[in-house]
Amino acid sequence: MGKMRKLKKPAVWDGINKSTHSFNPDRQITKAKHGGKIRDRCTIKRLLMYRNFKPKRNAQGKIVRPAPFQAWVTPGTQARVEPNQRWFGNTKVITQGALQKFQDELGRVLKDPYQVVMRQTNLPISLLNEKAKTARVHVLDTEGFETTFGPKAIRKKPNIKTTDLGELLATAESSADNYDVDKDRDLMRDVPDSKSEPREMIMKAGQSKRVWGELYKVIDSSDVVAQILDARDPMGTRSKHIEDFLKKEKPFKHLFFILNKCDLVPPWATKKWVAILSHEYPTLAFHASIKNPFGKGALINLLRQFGKLHQDKKQISVGFIGYPNVGKSSVINTLRGKKVCNVAPIAGETKVWQYITLMRRIYLIDCPDRKSVV
């Protein structure tokens, strides 16, 4: 009787490569030969990409295997990119209701001066600026379909005073005969619009282009902008032009009010003005004095809160802007507790902007005086 020979079972491929090559991400090696870390799957893919970026050639120099994305097909063949599920792996779909809710909530937060949107670059802020909806003229708002078509249509007839050309000519001739040059208000006259009178030199302070350039330098260099207002006339020393500019061009900068010289008005007036101005921007009552200040602690705490909002920056800059003689330099001297900026009872003492260190992470910028355009 012959010997029985056992047949070997065919190897079953389990989908795992058991080789110990350094380019095999499934190898069962925990440590490298020289004690270093083994390559992970991402590193292997990157190295293979570097390795296969050139075409393979034979001894005669002919391309045997083309480089990735450089293959060719025979003439007449329709090339087609192979579809892959990974194309759609990083996409997100949002419903119209969720998008509308996001627009309403984010728009409400952006309009609230007491709330701050962190990491605005990661949010689709452009969805809120739908200019196409507002730029288009809505004709239906002025004239609807009911008043234009149907039985209730309103026919607008032109108001013609004459019926034929002869009556129109007679009307034009009578108007020309009754024309009076002195009573014509639409006639262009050579009368000057203003008269030259002697002007005080103090009124010219803050009107030069150089000072306006210094103002915009301060705004561009500041992360936080503090507008100083005079408690005796808060609305008169408030610059709507700068506020609209910051809201439109620099929405990522923070703006707040400092109601300075509150010691010159009654306490009830200061309290009421703070309540009125706080509806639009954060407002602090302040009295600038090196020895006996008021509101210094609250202002420093507010600046520290702004510093915590910008943890990604090494330091933040706070720019102080305002009308002449509202006390910008005096506020900075009060925060430092000593005289670091020159002050004077006349306008135009501060000629150029200057940096002052308040803390390790907070810098103050003193702005020259300017008279804003309301």
Residues 172-224: pLDDT tens digits?
999 888 888 888 877 777 766 666 666 665 555 556 677 777 888 888 888 89
Query: Helices (DSSP H) in 250-325: which residue ranges?
Result: 267-277, 296-309
Residues 259, 283: contact at Cβ < 8 Å?
A: yes
The yes-or-no verdict on residue 363 having pLDDT over 60 is yes
Residue 367's CB is within 10 A of a number of other CB atoms, namely: 26
pLDDT for position 256 = 92
Residue 337's CB is within 10 A of a number of other CB atoms, namely: 11
Range of weakest confidence among 58-62, 82-86, 169-173, 195-199 = 195-199
pLDDT in tens, 119-157: 666 666 666 666 545 556 667 777 788 887 878 887 777
User: Which tokens sit at 369?
Assistant: 């005086």
Q: Are strands 283-285 and 254-260 parallel, antiparallel or unpaired?
A: parallel
pLDDT for position 285 = 92
pLDDT for position 374 = 34
Residue of 71, 93, 98 lying closest to 82 (CA atoms)? 71
Place 94 in a pLDDT band, splitting at 50, 70 and 90. Answer: confident
d(CA 183, CA 163) in angstroms, rounded, equals 29
User: Which tokens sit at 32?
Assistant: 């490298």
Residue 113's CB is within 10 A of a number of other CB atoms, namely: 17
**Cα dihedral across residues 275, 277, 281, 286: positive or negative:** negative
Return all residues near 58 (Cβ < 8 A) that are at least 6 apart: 64
Q: What values do phi and psi take at 354, rounded to 5?
A: -145, 145
Label residues 197-207 b or e (16+ Cβ within 10 Å = b).
eeeeeeeebbe
d(CA 333, CA 312) in angstroms, rounded, equals 28
Q: What values do phi and psi take at 20, rounded to 5?
A: -105, 20
Residues 315, 362: contact at Cβ < 8 Å?
A: yes
Q: What values do phi and psi take at 304, rounded to 5?
A: -65, -35
Return all residues near 40 (Cβ < 8 A) that are at least 6 apart: 25
Give the pLDDT mean for 58-84.
78
Place 13 in a pLDDT band, splitting at 50, 70 and 90. Answer: low
